[in-house]
């Protein structure tokens, strides 16, 4: 049985019925499978085992500390993009010397904190950031990476493409020699790594081959300039299957890495996120109404765009299925699956074929482990929803649903009110 499959007519997460979890924690909720997280990590690690590779899980994909701890226990480091994510990774047990700090807008406070924790590396993404880091690192020293922008089209959604010249990320690769020279001349700074990341949800390896080839050539040039480049940060970006995509296997990805960088003698850092957690999670929601409008049928559920924003933000597809297995003979008609938020954009799917549904019937949204709960908000004064981690026949609530009192106490009246 896979991580989320039907058994005795009902959807299970590993060895536990989703209906049982829903009865105990209420809906909506996210549910993650430890077995799926572990299987994906080990498959990735095995594919890269012939290379000197450190896997740094991209915390932004799913920042629940129980998920991070699961990977840390398997030997993973962490790729973080904020002080908050850095603190989460440390709190979850990731050793500081296995943490890489990326991101275009690191503040002085964030850089100061990262230096104080002696993390493995800060990936600098701009000349102004280099100047600030030089000021902060003076007298203490820091080995750094410099993220280059290779101007490669990742052939993914425009909002998650990060390696084009018109994207905000990294330093133009044409200026890399100049910036590495400035870094080397900065007291307290030693540039030893080249970093690159061209985007997320890549289903074609050609853009990665092009980016890694450019980086490999750059390493040769930088070494000729006298820089001691000992590592390359290859970023992440491997896609998953949401609908009918055919993403590359980890073995195919590893072959590209070997082909482009295997002869450089560099330690490699890779930062998978979505590919480890995306299909290891589902969102479970309850039907409120099955409404027949004049032109369309609407299935209104208790989850909303504030819980899972990907469909509204990216027009993203998620498979949707009934938690109670539908009989093959059941009549199905098309319906839009929508939430209760006062936005037409609060639509998860259009024209999906579903059987007639009753209030309190449960639905599961597949492939919700990445960029789901981590992007949630309290829009419409809706409560953040629980996150559940399953292992075998046990489950644990790894983020609780707050109360309305707790949510309202985050506000304060003005002193004159």
| Catalytic residue positions, numbered | 342
Which residues neighbour 263 within 8 Å (Cβ) at sequence distance 6 or greater? none
CA distances from 218 to 31, 108, 161, 323 (A): 43, 29, 22, 52
**Distance, CA of 411 to CA of 406 (rounded, Å):** 10
**Distance, CA of 337 to CA of 141 (rounded, Å):** 54
- Alpha-helical segments (H) within 201-342: 206-224, 250-261, 274-277, 310-314
**Distance, CA of 321 to CA of 366 (rounded, Å):** 8
């209030």: which residue's tokens? 359
- Asked if 194 and 232 touch (Cβ cutoff 8 Å), the reply is yes
**Distance, CA of 236 to CA of 270 (rounded, Å):** 6
Cα–Cα nearest to 323, from 277, 291, 355 = 355
Instruction: Give the strand pairing for 16-17 and 10-13.
Output: antiparallel
**Distance, CA of 177 to CA of 183 (rounded, Å):** 10
- Asked if 144 and 165 touch (Cβ cutoff 8 Å), the reply is no
Which residues neighbour 287 within 8 Å (Cβ) at sequence distance 6 or greater? 299, 300, 301, 357, 358, 359, 360, 361, 362, 363
What are 145's two structure tokens?
């990476």
């Amino acid at each position: 049985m896979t991580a989320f499959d039907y058994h005795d007519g009902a959807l299970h997460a590993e060895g536990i019925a989703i209906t049982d979890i829903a009865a105990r924690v209420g809906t909506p909720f996210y549910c993650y499978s430890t077995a799926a997280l572990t299987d994906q990590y080990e498959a990735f690690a095995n594919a890269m085992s012939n290379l000197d590779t450190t896997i740094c899980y991209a915390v932004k994909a799913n920042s629940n500390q129980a998920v991070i701890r699961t990977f840390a226990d398997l030997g993973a480091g962490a790729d973080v993009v904020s002080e908050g994510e850095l603190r989460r990774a440390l709190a979850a047990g990731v050793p500081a010397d296995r943490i890489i700090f990326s991101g275009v807008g690191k503040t002085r406070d964030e850089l100061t904190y990262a230096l104080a924790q002696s993390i493995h590396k800060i990936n600098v993404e701009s000349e102004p950031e280099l100047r600030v880091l030089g000021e902060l690192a003076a007298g203490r020293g820091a080995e750094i990476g410099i993220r280059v922008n290779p101007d490669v089209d990742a052939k993914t959604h425009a909002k998650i493409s990060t390696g084009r010249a018109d994207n905000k990320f990294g330093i133009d690769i044409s200026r890399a020699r100049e910036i590495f020279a400035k870094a080397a001349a900065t007291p307290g700074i030693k540039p030893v790594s080249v970093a690159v990341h061209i985007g997320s949800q890549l289903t074609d390896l050609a853009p990665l081959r092009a980016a890694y080839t450019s980086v490999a050539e750059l390493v040769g040039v930088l070494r000729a300039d006298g820089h001691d480049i000992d590592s390359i940060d290859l970023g992440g970006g491997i896609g998953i299957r949401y609908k009918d995509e055919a993403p590359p296997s980890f073995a195919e990805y590893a072959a590209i890495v070997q082909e482009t960088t295997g002869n450089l003698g560099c330690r490699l850092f890779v930062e998978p996120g979505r590919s480890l957690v995306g299909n290891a999670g589902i969102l479970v929601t309850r039907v409120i109404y099955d409404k027949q409008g004049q032109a369309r049928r609407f299935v209104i559920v208790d989850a909303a765009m504030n819980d899972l924003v990907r469909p509204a933000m990216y027009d993203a597809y998620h498979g949707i299925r009934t938690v109670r297995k539908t009989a093959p003979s059941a009549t199905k008609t098309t319906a839009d699956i929508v939430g209760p938020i006062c936005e037409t954009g609060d639509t998860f799917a259009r024209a999906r074929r579903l059987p007639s549904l009753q209030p309190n019937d449960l639905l599961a949204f597949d492939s919700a482990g990445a960029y789901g709960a981590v992007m949630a908000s309290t829009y419409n004064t809706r409560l953040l929803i629980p996150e559940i981690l399953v292992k075998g026949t046990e489950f644990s609530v790894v983020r609780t649903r707050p109360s309305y009192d707790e949510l309202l106490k985050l506000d304060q009246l003005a002193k004159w009110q």
